[in-house]
Amino acid sequence: MPDKRDDYPETMRRPRASTILWLVLIAVGVAFDKGLWQVPREWNPFAPLVVNDPVTPVTQLKLKWLANDREGCLAALDSAPSIRYTPLADYTPAAGCPLENVVRLARTGVTFNASFVATCPLALAWTMFERHELQPLATRLFDQRVASVQHYGSFACRNIYHRENARRSEHASASALDVAAFRLEDGTRISVLDDWDADGERAQFLHEAEEGACRYFGTTLGPDYNAAHANHFHLGMRGVAFCR
């Protein structure tokens, strides 16, 4: 006996994909409306960025969006524990190099050899990198945290590599930080210059730290890029995950 289902049109036997999608969307909308389901803050693109929240693909989008949102960026910085910074008015410290949306960063979860001026997005990217990559890495490899960071500065009114006809460096807008070394809680110093090509956990720490930085900074350059970066990591906001 023939199967009577064969007498029904295909559209009666199997709901269209578009119909299923609409039913799912309606169900999700009702769940939101009734308070039965809420998107976690770290997955909600419309929720403020909070430094201690788990990192998701949405986190990177939020970081990008805050590039032109001064108040939102400062609010995100305020969510970081132990941070000390001072918002600065826009100013021009050197002719041809105006600074906008900048702060003076004194400390985060680490101390620095000197405070430095940075755009708010750079300060926030550093804080996120430190919280979610640098400190967990140090704890995993050395069973202790990074206590302090040595840097070579952030602002310098110059072109890249000091070339006369080159474009402006990220440092000309305080959008990059050059990091030379890390000191652990027990006093151990890990230097980009001395330990990058060494054997053991110090070299592993530097290589994994550079890889982790690529998730938060637009440009991450280290010793493998060229000789000019043999002694530091360049962590900048220009570009999208350019890592060398």
Q: Which residues contact 32 (CB under 8 A, 6 or more apart)?
A: 38
Place of tokens 């938060």: 216
Q: Which residues pair with 88 in a beta bridge?
A: 102
The domain ranges of the chain are: 1-38, 44-243
Q: Which of 65-69, 124-128, 161-165, 187-191 has the lowest mean pLDDT?
A: 161-165
d(CA 41, CA 145): 27
> What confidence tens digit (pLDDT) does each residue in 137-171 have?
999 999 999 999 999 999 999 988 778 777 889 99
Query: What residue spans of 5-44 are helical by DSSP H?
Result: 10-13, 17-33
Residue 11 structure tokens: 């559209």
For range 8-25, the mean pLDDT? 53
Name the CA dihedral angle for 243, 112, 71, 158, rounded to a multiple of 10 degrees. Answer: -60
